[in-house]
Amino acid sequence: MRFDVNLSLVFTELPLLERPAAAKAAGFDAVELWWPFPDAEPANRELDRLADAIRDAGVSLVGLNFDAGDMAEGDRGLLSRPAQSSRFRANIPVAVAFATGLGCTTLNALYGNREPDVFPEQQDELAEENLTLAARAADAAGATVVLEALNAEQNPHYPITTSNQAFTVIDRLKRPNVKFLADFYHLTMMGEDVLALIDRSAHRFGHVQIADVPGRGQPGTGDMPYGDILKRLADSPYDGPVGLEYKPSGPSAQSFEWIKELA
CATH of the domain at 141: 3.20.20.150
261 classed as catalytic: no
Is there a domain that residue 225 lies in?
Answer: no
Q: Is 112 helix (H, G, I), strand (E, B) or coil?
A: coil
Is there a domain that residue 220 lies in?
Answer: no
128 classed as catalytic: no
pLDDT at 227: 96
Range list of H helices, the chain: 19-25, 44-57, 85-101, 120-140, 163-173, 184-189, 194-201, 226-234, 257-262
Is there a domain that residue 129 lies in?
Answer: yes
What is the number of structural domains in the chain?
1
Q: Is the entire prediction scored with pTM above 0.95? A: yes
Question: Where residue 263 falls among pLDDT bands split at 50, 70, 90?
Answer: low
Is there a domain that residue 248 lies in?
Answer: no
Residues 6+ apart with CB under 8 A from 20: 7, 31, 53, 54, 56, 57, 59
Higher confidence at residue 169 or residue 260? 169
Is there a domain that residue 255 lies in?
Answer: no
Contact call for residues 68 and 110 (beta carbons, < 8 A) = yes
Contact call for residues 94 and 41 (beta carbons, < 8 A) = yes
pLDDT, average across residues 56-77: 97
Tens-digit pLDDT profile for residues 1-23: 999 999 999 999 999 999 999 99
51 lies in which domain range?
Answer: 3-191
Percent of the chain with pLDDT strictly greater than 90: 98
Is there a domain that residue 187 lies in?
Answer: yes
Residue 205: what residue type?
A: F
Tens-digit pLDDT profile for residues 85-111: 999 999 999 999 999 999 999 999 999
Out of 46, 121, 125, 245, the active site residue is 245
Tens-digit pLDDT profile for residues 194-247: 999 999 999 999 999 999 999 999 999 999 999 999 999 999 999 999 999 999
Tens-digit pLDDT profile for residues 172-198: 999 999 999 999 999 999 999 999 999
Residue 88: what residue type?
A: F
Is there a domain that residue 249 lies in?
Answer: no
Out of 32, 73, 121, 148, the active site residue is 148
Is there a domain that residue 244 lies in?
Answer: no
Rounded Cα distance between 144 and 124, Å, is 20
